[in-house]
Structure 1
């Protein structure tokens, strides 16, 4: 499945914290553009005017803070998918060493109705600092790629101490548009996702990348086994 999260503010949300936005899950990436045109009030289709092509992507397995939750096999499969997608799309892939502050406390604070004013200010400082670092990153990269989840899929009993949302709620906090696409399977058959993040309000270019270069099948081919 492919998931698309628009830029925060592209559509109304009932979430008072502004962290949840309407999104969609589809099997065929070709369905994303029609969904956006129908659902997002200010959606503007491509104008046909020349726009600099996507040229560079940055890879980070942890965004600087998710290392304790990272499954090495998941990271390896997602990175191979990033490499394959960049090769297909003609993008240069770099590893600039992304170093964001863990957004967990900020997320929980902003979602709470009982957080103190001091905690709210600290949460906003975290958000603004991470946004500043992401702005610097996007000066030299058009896209940022990570595993969608740092660990394996879990059962109904939950992930335990490993946060499946560790790499995604930071992007909800920042408001950047993002998609998750199938990257491949672990040796024991668990699906792995590749998260692709674009600049703020870069929704159209992100969806065009999917339309042009992301197949319905997982991107990364399985490694041969002895």
Structure 2
């Protein structure tokens, strides 16, 4: 009976949190999730940077008047480009799945819809250009400029739209830079537009990944 009248105090770690403690705990958890998401984005960016560098350099090295040091045999450049893009897709898919673990609610739905919209945009552009070529005769050099430029332009727009979800001006300007690159590279013309995509495109992705790393390092740890 005495034990019931005088209960033993709970250990400190089992004490109920007050409003301030609960707010601090939620803030710490939110910071941890944000840091994890930023690391995932960095991995995706580095993966795609390498894919662009290797893939577009391979295409440039297979074009007449491209790489002055060596020329890849016919067909090999497209195999290398395809392998590089496949690697970028694989890294993005695996990393995206890991980033989605433990994340629920509206952010998960928004992320899924954003991913579906991105994939649909690329497929729609490919179908549109294919339909255009059914009515308009386009030579190989023009097609190389048109197809690559269109897909890079869409990539830039996707990053800019995604900045509204992440509330990141840095991501918006990164997407804008990718879109501008598509215009500049098209003005340069074939085959050296491929070299620009490799160096400038890959470089922009690595620079953005580095900026994210700096922001992670400077943010307070949970």
Give the TM-score, by structure 1 length.
0.25
What is the TM-score when the length of structure 2 is the normalising length?
0.25
Higher relative strand content = 1
Q: Which structure has the greater CA radius of gyration? A: 2
Q: Which has the higher helix share?
A: 2
